Amino acid sequence: MNKKNKNILPYILIIFFFNITFTFSQNEEQIFQQGNEYFVQKQFDKAIESYRQLINSGYEGTSLFYNLGNAYYRSGKIGYAILYYEKALRLSPGDEDIKHNLALANLKTIDKLESLPQFFLFDWWEGLLALFSTSGWTIISYIFYILFIFSVGFYFYAKNVLQQKIVLISGLTGLLFLIFSCSLLMIKLNRELNVKNGIVIENTVNVKLSPDPASNDAFIVHEGLKIRLEDEVDNWVKIRLEDGKVGWIQEDNAKVI
């Protein structure tokens, strides 16, 4: 290989790499569109297969989870439909279409539980946390951080006392919002790391008093119920319901959101 060919070799490798990347991205898009076509043609099992192929390849996204939830809903698999609506809502908490379809799916569940009563401030706090996803609160915190830095910079370049006061007040306000948004972000991150919710995917599940198949039944749950996953022992998972009931189920009876 001559010197000229050696010089162009790195550029050929770069072009080859980007072509492969584009092909993979294009293939994923084709699979997604194929799933959408299957859905329109009411071939819901094939649509589910296409969407799950993307998920198994490590792809995630609001549209993918939402469309998969729709396909499961139309095929009558309410548990999986709710599971993927919840996954989509976790990525896009403010999406009204997801909320609407999730509410419709929940109407088809058997278990109608009443949550334990909470002080209204706790409800307000939960609603505030649910306004944005983790990435959303990260962006908001970053914006307030940038605004605070600019305020500090403008303070030293202010030409008179009035401008300094305005910049100082703006900077302190931005700092308060920064601290508040960072606090919400930390709480959101902590919940994602330490709190696991799941959806029951089996039609009927006998919840046990202890992680033992010979244990007495505590109560029964049904497909589509949202549960809190608290502990694991072998292939058993400790669950908690919204009404405070606690018991154990086998881990393949529910899927993590």
CB 38 within 8 A of CB 46: yes
Report the chain (257 residues): mean pLDDT per 10 consecutive residues: 46 43 64 93 95 91 95 96 95 90 94 66 72 83 88 79 82 88 86 85 95 92 94 92 92 93
Sequence length of the chain is 257
Q: How many CB atoms lie within 10 A of CB 72?
A: 24
pLDDT of residue 4: 44
Q: Output the pLDDT for position 55.
A: 93
d(CA 111, CA 44): 26
In contact, 137 and 196? CB cutoff 8 Å: no
Is 2.60.40.10 the CATH classification of the domain at 196-256?
no
Tell me what pLDDT residue 15 has: 43
d(CA 36, CA 64): 10
Per-residue confidence (pLDDT) for residue 3, from 0 to 100 = 42
Give me the sign of the Cα torsion angle 53, 57, 58, 61. negative
User: What is the reported pLDDT for 220?
Assistant: 95
The pLDDT assigned to 1 comes to 47
CB 69 within 8 A of CB 85: yes
Q: Where are the domains of the chain?
A: 11-107, 120-194, 196-256
Q: What are the C-alpha distances in Å from 209 to residues 2, 31, 221, 228, 245?
A: 76, 44, 13, 16, 11
| Superfamily of 11-107 according to CATH | Tetratricopeptide repeat domain (1.25.40.10)
Residue 94's pLDDT is what?
A: 83
pLDDT at 32: 92
